[in-house]
Chains A and B, each alone.
Chain A
Amino acid sequence: MSKMMYRAAVLSTIMEEMERDPNVVVLGEDVVGGMGTAGGPEAIGGIWSTSTGLYDKFGPTRVIDTPISESAIVGAAGGLALAGKRPIAELMFADFIGVSLDQIWNQLAKFRYMFGGKTKCPAVIRMAYGAGYNAAAQHSQSVHQILTGMPGLKVVMPTTPADVKGLLRTAIRDDDPVIFLEHKALYAVQGEVPDDPDFMIPFGHARLSRAGGDVTIISSGLLLGMCEAVADKLAAEGIGCDVIDLRTTSPLDEETILDSVEVTGRVVVVDEAPPRCGLGADLCALVAEKAFSSLKAPPLQVTPPHTPIPFARELESNYLPSVDKIEAAVRRVLSYR
């Protein structure tokens, strides 16, 4: 085990996989980063420092700076994948997915199906998502809500550096298009990471980060830490919470959720996307459909309101789920009578 940051886990996994497999290529806006600067092309390595040193090591044929066109990045990744490469495309902000939606939704996600299984599309599309930086409505969103609903895509939302390592490696080696969502606020989080060069975490395999018999809290990404804080606080009062880190929203680990809810009978889903037609609604529907007889209280969502993300610091922090809001929701399902 070695300690590293979330962003270092991203970079080192890409580095290791590029060394292992010459078909792995990286493309995106400013992934080389330093072109035209005094420091030289490899000086920066992307605005999130998740590609630093790749250009120096693998050169221009495997680390490709693209024009500012998400359609081109994702479209090229799809073509590379069909041609036998394993592209890792980076979108600087997940919000920009809109302009590449045809490539993702109508092309990558459907190649294997529409070609009758005769081809595969092993592309990874990495993107930074999430709010908390006063980056306003177009640079703060969580897009898993849209992508999880698209059959043909796998959607990954790692929470810890170790999960980044295990899940990104699985994503790169997977033969289907994988959306890999990295939370901006987690990039600097430190954590223990296994050194095993083949450490992989299978998709659809949730992590139980806290265990307790009274309330099930489900989340992934940045908000999971808040859920853990709430669980730790309530543990002192004798309230036990199962905190489930989904890791992947597609495929979904239904089994772990239902196993937990059958014991606790109470569910709080914590999500950074707005409440309508999203992950929270999906999971509430899941437990209502499949664990109704176990439920002791209506499932609750803790999400931002159904509005764009505000720019003002005070409004943004009020907009997002918080430890207090999650704790209030847990107490609310416990006090249902």
Chain B
Amino acid sequence: MPDIRPFCMPKWGIEMTEGTLAEWMVAEGETFSKGQLLCLIETAKITNEVEAEYDAVLARVLVPAGGAEQPVGALLAVTAAPGTDAAEIDAFIAAFKPADTSVAARGGSSDAAPAPAAAAAAPVTNAPRKIETNRPISPEALKFAEDNGVDIDPIVGSGRGGRITLQDVHQAARYPANPALTGTLSVEAEDRAVFASPLARRIAAQHGISLSGVKGTGPRGRISKADVLALVPAPASAAPAAFGAPFVAVANTPTVTRFDSVRKVVAQRLTEAKQTIPHFYLRMSANVDKLMELRKTANLVLGCKASLNDYVVMASARALAQHRDVNVQVHGQEIHSFPHADISIAVASPKGLVTPVVRQADRMRIDQIASATSALIEKAKSGRLGMDDMAGGSFSISNLGMFGIEDFDAIINPPQGAILAVGTITREAVEDGEGFAFESRMRFTLSVDHRAIDGAGGAQFLATLKSLLENPETLFA
């Protein structure tokens, strides 16, 4: 069968499974030459021109223009040398087996469908044919070459001993690469005073950034690309973004601060407390209208500046003296219960949380408590607290009311057995006869170490505290 060749539906791109013959540019029986436009084929994506790859006659058209979609590999026409017998062509058509398109789909070209211009130079895969060769070639490569009619003669095998691999055949079957080139770039001279990666130096030069004094985060302290990019001024930050302008992310590099000695202690003690102490929480609120009235009068009479917190310290201390089961420290398997209340007050100092102690607050008058707390707070703020000021304590009070915090749960300050978290004062509506009235309420959460103190003990302490705060004259008894 001299020179009878099939013309099949080509496969352009991995996604192409079928195509439509839009138009034959050569009529049946007409002679065509290599490079001549043979037909137009439509796919789901494009309409592409198909050029002849050899000289022949379009002997038989099997799929007319405008017909149904044909699968990849379907026989569209048969070409032959001029004067080929029609019977031979019939025999060829009868014997023709379409290519195994599953192989083409599995190992086929992953290029996007080529633009019509590129198709001119395309080695579009030909019809399947048997390849007889003694060259070393992998079975899968040979199968692909046969199925897709890839000419293996010009291929230089990249495998061991020049063996042709599947990748080699894939490459030969594809359109020639036409890479978009970037070209050369400038090499920034190494500055011996600055230890920076080549790319970091280039970016710095592009943006006119001086790298001297920049701290590198790369290997062995070298300045990396990321270090320089962090210094590149963000274009978006110069002016407020206009409406419709896209969001541009800017560098968001953390400032790293190592724990100082205060924070180390806080971190270690509170982690230990929260992890090892079985906390439970009791919540309560108290009407402080009377207390607020009394405070003004008492401050005038006593000539002091006692805060509401001082009254909370005082009331807690008195309540603790009555409920010694809450005025405790926990040491291993022992509960140390104290007759007098040493109250640690949580103070936010410039260096972090500190807890100086008001000693035997249950025995103090309100003016004594006020002067003790103000002295401790003053020392804390100026960083002059000594060990004597901080050591011990049988109970803690933490007040975040001044920040408007309504209530919160504090972590016990070991070895103490409980801590009182004090919230802000809110005006709340309460039932009053037929109608309602507003009153000032302060909220408390007592965090309790259940190893030493039971729920009932904590609740009784809170009830006493509430009673003292709501009847503040008893504090002066």
Contact = CB atoms under 8 A, between A and B. Distances in A.
A208 B190 CA distance: 9
B392 interface: no
A334 B177 contact: yes
Contact of A211 (B167, B185, B197, B220): B185
Interface in A122-179: none
Contacts of A334: 177, 179
Interface string B182-220: 111111001010010111001000000000000000111
Interface string B447-461: 000000000000000
Contacts of A244: 198
Interface string B158-188: 0000000001000100111101011111110
B445 interface: no
Chain B interface size range:
20 to 34
Contacts of B416: none
A296 B179 contact: yes
B88 interface: no
B224 interface: yes
B218 A255 contact: yes
B182 A214 contact: yes
Given A207-B190, A334-B177, A202 B195 contact: yes
A191 interface: no
A212 B183 contact: yes
A240 B198 contact: no
Contact of A239 (B171, B183, B187, B225): B183
B111 interface: yes
A259 B198 contact: yes
B222 interface: yes
B195 A211 contact: no
A115 interface: no
Contact of A210 (B111, B171, B184): B184
Interface string A262-298: 0110000000000000000000000000000000101
A225 interface: no
A66 interface: no
Q: Decide if the interface of chain B is mainly helix, strand, loop or mixed.
A: loop
Contacts of A335: 176-177, 179
A256 B198 contact: yes
A337 B175 contact: yes
A210 B192 contact: no
A158 B406 CA distance: 69
B26 to A, nearest CB: 29
Contact of A337 (B111, B182, B198, B202): B111
Interface in B247-303: none
A211 B175 contact: no
A165 B2 CA distance: 72
Given A255-B219, A256-B197, A259-B198, A211 B183 contact: no
A259 B197 contact: yes
Nearest to B219: A204
Given A208-B187, A213-B182, A337 B219 contact: no
B185 A212 contact: yes
Nearest to B171: A337
Given A206-B198, A255-B197, A240 B175 contact: no
Nearest to B156: A332
Contact of B187 (A210, A213, A256): A210
Contacts of B198: 206-208, 211, 244, 256, 259-260
Interface in A180-214: 194, 196, 199, 202-214
Given A199-B192, A207-B190, A214-B179, A235 B197 contact: no
Contacts of A263: 182
A211 B202 contact: yes
B192 A255 contact: no
A180 to B, nearest CB: 19
A203 B185 CA distance: 25
A330 to B, nearest CB: 12
Nearest to A203: B220
Contacts of B185: 211-213, 240, 242
A14 to B, nearest CB: 21
Nearest to A207: B190
Q: Pick the 10 closest A-B CB pairs, nearest first.
A: A213-B182, A208-B198, A337-B177, A211-B185, A259-B199, A240-B184, A240-B183, A212-B184, A337-B174, A335-B177
Interface of B: 111, 167, 171, 174-177, 179, 181-187, 190, 192, 195, 197-199, 202, 218-220, 222, 224-225
Given A211-B202, A214-B182, 12 more contacts: A204-B219, A206-B198, A208-B198, A213-B181, A240-B182, A242-B185, A253-B197, A256-B197, A256-B199, A298-B167, A335-B177, A336-B171
